[in-house]
Amino acid sequence: MMRQTLIALEDVWVIFQRGWLSRERVEAVAGVSLAIPEGGILALVGETGSGKTTLGKVVAGLYRPTRGRLLFQGQDVWTMNRRAFLQYRRAVQLVHQDAFAALNPVRTVYQSLKAPLLHHRIARNEREARERSAELLAQVGLTPPELFLDKYPHQLSGGQRQRVLLARALTVQPRLIVADEPVSMIDVSLRLAILQLLRELNRRLGIAILYITHDLATARYLAEEGQLAVMYLGKIVEYGAFPKVLENPRHPYLQALLSAVPVPDPRVAQAIRPMALQEIDPPDPRRPPSGCRFHPRCPYVQPICREISPVLEGPADHQVACHFAQEIPPWHPPSAASPSRWA
């Protein structure tokens, strides 16, 4: 069944400038178009510095695009009237990477949760706010909630703080959660629990999720039935249905990422040869390469790649921005690696 589009980005650019004389420019996001359906999951994957967090803040309304449009239910967010804009800001909530920095250290868990409840009049008084706060903590797995309501952030573990952030996002009954690296700063043993919680919120409450990460394994666990967008130096280089993209990755950058995923089986690991890139480090984002931004590192580079920037092409469920997507040899993991590779 086709879902309606909740959030859409149309040719979005975000350009940061600094300095009075040189006016140095950084194209953090360069011409990105994406769509997040109602109740869907989109995993946004890329290296550090690729522009993922900036794009997430655009979706959350914290950054205004330099060019392009952000649409919420078909309406341009930045031309909405005040009432519609407040509804959008309530519908889209951001969960930060650093849970400790995102919580006020001098406020208890209850004080952090009650503020949006009372501000948006979801709770009419302190008694209702406390009851609703307890319900939210139970909903994110902090039980019994009475043990957590009056604690301060420094009295909680990393995983517990991340759950409090999710509870705070749920206070205003959002329709989309932008989760920016929500498991990167917590113990490996706790990551699965947070990902399961996000998946449960999506399935049970119908909350759409934009999951920002550099970890393809966690992205697949959460968004296996959703969409995948691969970002490189401000641009989307591959985009489509998650299973379709992983079954047949066509862009050399995604192939390089997949070839670098560690495999627990040593025999299988020995059979995998990581893609040999021309350069290990990505270019300086302040001076992006001409043409295809991946061409200085690409093992298949041709003269046209240095001159003309490719655009996303292909069917809606699998688009690739590469001049030679059809000519580049397909990449597939060894069959023995398939079950354990994404464990």
Summarize the confidence of residues 147-151 as an average pLDDT.
96
Q: Which domain holds residue 62?
A: 5-106+172-341
209 within some domain: yes
pLDDT of amino acid 333: 60
Q: Which has the higher per-residue pLDDT, 329 or 117?
A: 117
Question: What percentage of the chain has pLDDT greater than the value 90?
Answer: 71
Q: Is the pLDDT of residue 130 over 80?
A: yes
In the 3-class helix/strand/coil scheme, how is 232-291 assigned residue by residue?
Answer: ECCEEEEEEEHHHHHHCCCCHHHHHHHHCCCCCCHHHHHHCCCCCCCCCCCCCCCCCCCC
Going from the C-alpha of 90 to that of each of 70, 120, 126, 168, 169, the distances in angstroms are: 16, 9, 21, 12, 9
33 within some domain: yes
The alpha carbon dihedral of 242, 246, 249, 251 has a sign of positive
Question: What's the domain count of the chain?
Answer: 1
Which segment of 44-53, 109-118, 260-269 scores lowest on mean pLDDT? 260-269
Question: What are residue 206's phi and psi, to 5 degrees?
Answer: 75, 25
Q: Report the C-alpha gap between 234 and 231 in whole angstroms.
A: 6
Contacts of 4 (CB under 8 A, 6+ apart): 37, 38, 73
Contact status, residue 96 vs residue 144, Cβ threshold 8 Å: no
> For residue 257, what pLDDT band results from cuts at 50, 70 and 90?
confident
pLDDT of amino acid 195: 92
pLDDT of amino acid 265: 57
219 within some domain: yes
pTM: 0.90
117 within some domain: no
Interval 296-330: pLDDT, tens: 999 999 999 999 999 999 998 999 999 999 898 88
Structure tokens at 65: 């695009």
124 within some domain: no
99 within some domain: yes
Q: Is the pLDDT of residue 342 over 50?
A: no
Summarize the confidence of residues 254-275 as an average pLDDT.
69
Q: Is the pLDDT of residue 11 over 90?
A: yes
Q: Is the pLDDT of residue 283 over 70?
A: yes
Interval 26-58: pLDDT, tens: 999 999 999 999 999 999 999 888 999 999 999
Q: Which has the higher per-residue pLDDT, 334 or 260?
A: 260
Q: Is the pLDDT of residue 335 over 60?
A: no
Number of neighbours of residue 336 by Cβ within 10 angstroms: 13
Question: What percentage of the chain has pLDDT greater than the value 70?
Answer: 91
221 within some domain: yes
317 within some domain: yes
pLDDT of amino acid 158: 87
Report the CATH number at residue 248: 3.40.50.300
